[in-house]
Amino acid sequence: MPNDRTLSAAPDASGGGPASPSSHTPPKAAELPEVPKLMAGKRGLVMGVANDRSIAWGIATALHAAGAEMAFTYQGAAFGKRVLPMVEKLGSKIVEEADVENEESLDRLFARLQKEWGRLDFVVHAIAFSDKEELKGRYVDTTKANFQRSLTISCYSFTEIARRALPLMTEGGSLITLTYEGATRVMPSYNVMGVAKAALEASVRYLAADLGPQGVRVNAISAGPMRTLAGAVIGSARYVYRVSREASPLRRNVELTDVGGAGLYLLSDLSAGVTGTVHYVDAGYHAIGMPPSSGNGQNGDQNGE
């Protein structure tokens, strides 16, 4: 796998255009409350950090603030130069290069986790890929090679990581992955990634059923568009970002703290009875069938127009 490929092609990033005028001031993302002991004594693996705007990084910082100890992976030297200085600030002692298309690298990763920790409590899987050139056209024109590689990296890798992590989750645990609304509805320039995310969401349900008897929970976070490196490859990113902001009930796009808090919830004992779910963190956009005609609410202006 090329060392400089983008880890995720999901539209969780873009640059937004100006919002339409509104008489309401959209609410802002809240700062996470202090929960310093929630993850104390917990150890987990975080895969997919690319830079400090990555969703995986947002989740990792929330986990760190709650007392978790984490191991990190990076894919290729270019990403390593960015990730290593970041994770050092969190006191991480296990940082491994790992490529989900290279089983030997995964063997080394989990052998080290077994040797140095002996157990895992959680896994954050934030890895996806598709050829950005094929995201520009029609889904019907997706090549077989790109289809197979997109599904392997974006979907099957979560199953493979879950299988490898399971023997280390001797006291139960929690796994999360990242999906997007394009798995259930057609989104601009998403194409084969929508198919891959749909398969990933189905995998979450089947894995939850398989791993539940061992006390291991499996869930997905469906985040709205965000300004991250990953979403920059989406041709319609600016449009998607703007429409999501204007049409969502909260009238804003989500921030890393929003997703970080959701990740902390799903990986902690606060969600001990939750598994097999897709948890939406998109300011409510997924609940809207048709955007309102104005910024005043679902029923239009004061005259109902």
Burial class (CB in 10 A: 0-12, 13-18, 19+), 26: middle
Phi, psi of 296 (to 5 degrees): -90, -5
Q: Are 64 and 32 in contact (CB under 8 A)?
A: no
Q: How far is CA 141 from CA 46, 61, 186, 300, in A?
A: 34, 39, 16, 40
Q: Which of 74, 180, 280, 285 is catalytic?
A: 180
Nearest residue to 32 (alpha-carbon basis) of 2, 64, 62, 1? 62
Question: Residues 76, 180, 121, CA angle at the centre, nearest 5°?
Answer: 60
Which residues share a beta bridge with 188? none
Q: Are 153 and 101 in contact (CB under 8 A)?
A: yes
DSSP string, 189-232: TTTHHHHHHHHHHHHHHHHHHHHGGGTEEEEEEEE-----TGGG
Nearest residue to 62 (alpha-carbon basis) of 91, 88, 38? 38
* Residue 39 CB neighbour total at 10 angstroms: 24
Using DSSP, state whether 279 is helix, strand or coil.
strand
Q: What is the CA radius of gyration of the chain?
A: 19
Would residue 206 show up in a list of annotated catalytic residues for this protein? no
Residues 6 or more apart in contact with residue 140 via CB below 8 angstroms: none
Burial class (CB in 10 A: 0-12, 13-18, 19+), 91: exposed
Q: Which of 74, 139, 156, 190 is catalytic?
A: 190
Residues known to be catalytic: 180, 190
